[in-house]
Amino acid sequence: MGTRARIHGRWRSLSPLPPGRLRTLSLATLANTVGTGLWVTGSVLYLTRVVGLSPTRVGLGLTLAGLVGLTASVPLGGLADRRDPRNLRAVLQLAQAAVAVAYLFVGSFPVFLLVATLDALLISGNLAVRAALVAAVGGPEGRVHAFATLRAVANLGVALGAGLAGFALAADTGWAYRLLVVGNAATYLVSAALILRLPGYPPLRRLRRSGPGRALRDGRFLTVAGASAVLSLHSVALTVLLPLWVMTRTDAPPVLVAAMLLVNTLLTVLLAVRLSGGARHALAAATTMRRAGLVLAAGMLLWAATGFVSGTPAIGLLLGATVVYTLGDLWHAGAGAALAYDLAAPDAIGAYQGVDTLLAGLARAAGPALLIWLVLGGGPIGWLALAGLLAGTGLAGPPLTRRALANRAEPLPASDQPISSST
């Protein structure tokens, strides 16, 4: 029995998923994000080749739907404070499965816009509810670790889904694209079933009236969450701006864009949990946010330098800059999660996560047009301006956080140490 126990313990230590409730939530996330990878990879081709919409209409519809969808994050996050977030998230997953199936019946732009808007509302609201559920599963000391774990799992799931979607793209037939739609819907059902295996998490007894409006009126929280949202523009730089820069301003081969995204995904899977360990509470997270801003700025400057070199040095610089960028990305993700949790009112976690989701969504919605104008229009000067914005925002993190904590009634966690001048 001793040998068997040692083997079992060794196997558990090698398992890529954490034990206990976080493992269940990780499996639910994995199922959900495999579907995301399926749909994101094939959705535009399905809507253009099978449904018959023009690329312009698809882009317009997704933009409008995304902006409307942001409005659901705060009210549904607030609802997660008054209801069990486990049950609420399971219900939302079932609703998303129904909306995913509805894409099979889209035959015109108005119907597409309706379905896409419902989809965006559910996605946005589900993000806030998921954050509340992660807080419940992880607890005050483990929620940032849980968030980082789920981010790594999500990246793995999206990569798996994208790989599976490649078979449909290779077939390039109507039935193959429809199979992606069905597969996406099925993953929501699997995710909902796994979520329901978690125990219930009844809401905390509220000591005073709370709700979405309370989070929206918390100016000091808004300043910190707003700074984190500005920092999240870096994700637009990777997914939208950088491919255009590589294609138009360097002589690197187009396939390098896929290689850079793969590097980012692999490093996220490998390092997300490890790099989140130092940002469990607000002050430590603010220090990490400062570091993230400076490292992200360095990544932007390295990408800018690729406009002045060519050949193998340019390829090496692009890949090296992506590694630097990914470190900043992961530090920001952990810091942003810790700040959003630790600066929230304990009885209104969901509402505060909804506000944080809303602000980040607004930044990402404005990001493509802003960054394309700034960098593709301004070249290296645009990259320099973007680097300055990210560095300045990161440096603002600690003083903004101290200001937000200044009038808190409860004492700071013992693990929070004073912020030093080092990064």
Q: At 237, list the tokens.
A: 């730089």
Whether the predicted pLDDT of 417 surpasses 90: no
Whether the predicted pLDDT of 6 surpasses 70: no
Whether the predicted pLDDT of 190 surpasses 80: yes
Give which of 159, 158, 36, 176 is closest to 97, Cα–Cα.
36
Burial of 97 (0-12, 13-18, 19+ CB in 10 A): buried
- At 40-53, the pLDDT tens digits run 888 888 999 899 99
Selected residue with higher pLDDT from 323 and 207: 323
- At 317-365, the pLDDT tens digits run 999 999 999 999 999 999 999 999 999 988 889 999 999 999 999 998 8
DSSP secondary structure code for residue 239 in this structure: I
Q: How far apart are CA 187 and CA 172, in angstroms?
A: 22
Question: Cα 183 to chain center, whole Å?
Answer: 22
Q: Which pLDDT does position 323 carry in this prediction?
A: 97
Mean pLDDT of 197-222: 77
Q: Which pLDDT does position 215 carry in this prediction?
A: 87
Q: At 141, list the tokens.
A: 């000391």
Residue with tokens 């810790």: 338
Whether the predicted pLDDT of 57 surpasses 80: yes
Give which of 21, 81, 129, 139 is closest to 413, Cα–Cα.
139
Q: Which residues of 157-169 are buried (b: 16+ CB within 10 A; e: fewer)?
A: bbbebbebbeebe
Q: How far apart are CA 75 and CA 212, in angstroms?
A: 6
**pLDDT > 90 fraction of the chain, expressed in percent and rounded:** 65
Q: At 286, list the tokens.
A: 């603010």
Whether the predicted pLDDT of 10 surpasses 60: no
Q: Which pLDDT does position 27 carry in this prediction?
A: 95
